[in-house]
Structure 1
């Protein structure tokens, strides 16, 4: 999604922000960071930009009133894209804003890096981008070095692993009226309740862009939820039949270029009542999250590949067996043995591999 082989780090300012709920404060530097070491600059580029190479979801900056100017980050980056001479001053304002929303007791303090990049590529466009990054996790590193006729070992505490970016976002100078193109990384606080959403929701205020990647992802997630949780309310359906329905849906998305609900209902679901129930589930989702998925859209194979690992085709039988069902459901039969008082499956196959 994001490539940076032609990119350059134009400006960078570093500040530090704590957690106001823990009586911590923020520290603002007086001037931008000056980097004369080419190797250090390359390491920073790797630290900041490499994690975005595998990010596919694109977001927009939003505000609940629909007035983008009320989104603090939008307001700041719009000024920056218009006049980069204000860079350091605006980097301080962004840091103050981050401190203001760091109000959950589980949010960790850390260094904040505000950057201005040139020539970062996203979706085929080479653009200027503003980056906001935060390092929260510190590690201890050992350093072995020659010492006379042997070696000595030293260590450095509270160091940053450049292979692990905790939090970051890139805001690209394009589609300003829609809230810019934004990509996000958040590796920490994933299970920390309210603390897990402050980066995307409170600090940046983001909404996923409704493109083919997200339409494909939403449909596959909704269908999986429908088969695993909803369909039992209206039908008695066995676990192998559920797996078969999931396998057929994944096959459809892998083989088709365009999704069509009527076609999907006929070829995959195969039941009008179930298709109608699934349609209602989609409409509820669209209404609740204020997003339109649509009955037809171009299928994103990137999204299909990403979701494929979530579609489990495993039938678990007690703690003794796990049966992987990949093909014809008709080659699997289920029955009950009265003498043993146990259920059993019969599998048909032509050859053993």
Structure 2
């Protein structure tokens, strides 16, 4: 009960921002025949997840440009949950997806509070959760998409790493791998943290050895002693578990398509892939050289700001698992080929990038904090309404 009282301000603040965004969306255009529920659960990727929940895998659509789009591009955890909920309730699969996202977003906010509190104090934890609700593309947290579910699993996995609960970290990481391809970022964070522990313990043992023994060891060309595998069975088990969800689904797609790299081919058919950022650079260059240089300069400024925040995270000494997770998420977002409009959404789960702002606000006056949060929440609500009644997230 004490823990619930501690996290209550973070959850209430988070819920208030999300409610504001949904209310503004519902009131944005009363004549809009799409309706807020349809906007949140019945368009774009939400339709594919609901189709998998209702019919299973096997749907293929031929696009106007001749591209073949298969539902094998979508990972199975959200459809599984939608199917389970719709089977025991009157909710449709899409509506069940909204319920999953609502619960998962609160779980994510709790995890962000726990991480922020552990590292920088209770006020920073509350602000981290509220800032995550108020990012411009935060409306996706309220959609039948995987961002909220993925962030909840990823954040709790990272919190488990920070608190030494390795099996929990590995299991939650495996679940993220069943949710999105970016589950690899969580697995990488778990592995990096474990390796850091082993290296630190090895260095401590060497420092504790008598100088004569170290000299004899170097003369003999020996190793620094055995790795302490036996003392870290749970940690190593967590590391092995971490990538299993992602690997299991990719292997299943390979078996279903009859191609070992079938998942990559499926993603390629959607126009997705990893090209080191070349497509994104061309996208920006086309705007700079074409008829919209202002947009090109804005994109350059946005990328520069993002990279500055990454450097700030390193300089403020964020724990290694948070740095690895956030860094891999940024690389995956910026260096992936595909529809540009997806990139802000792909960055949504990269919550460690908000820690510099949360820590700065934690030391600011209450009036400054209030102005920043109200401005951010209002901007997110307006942006979300314009976005979803327009092009929307792909």
TM-score (norm 1): 0.25
Structure 2-normalised TM-score? Answer: 0.23
Q: Identify, as 1 or 2, the structure richer in helix.
A: 2
In proportion to residue count, which structure has more strand?
A: 1
Q: Which has the larger radius of gyration?
A: 1
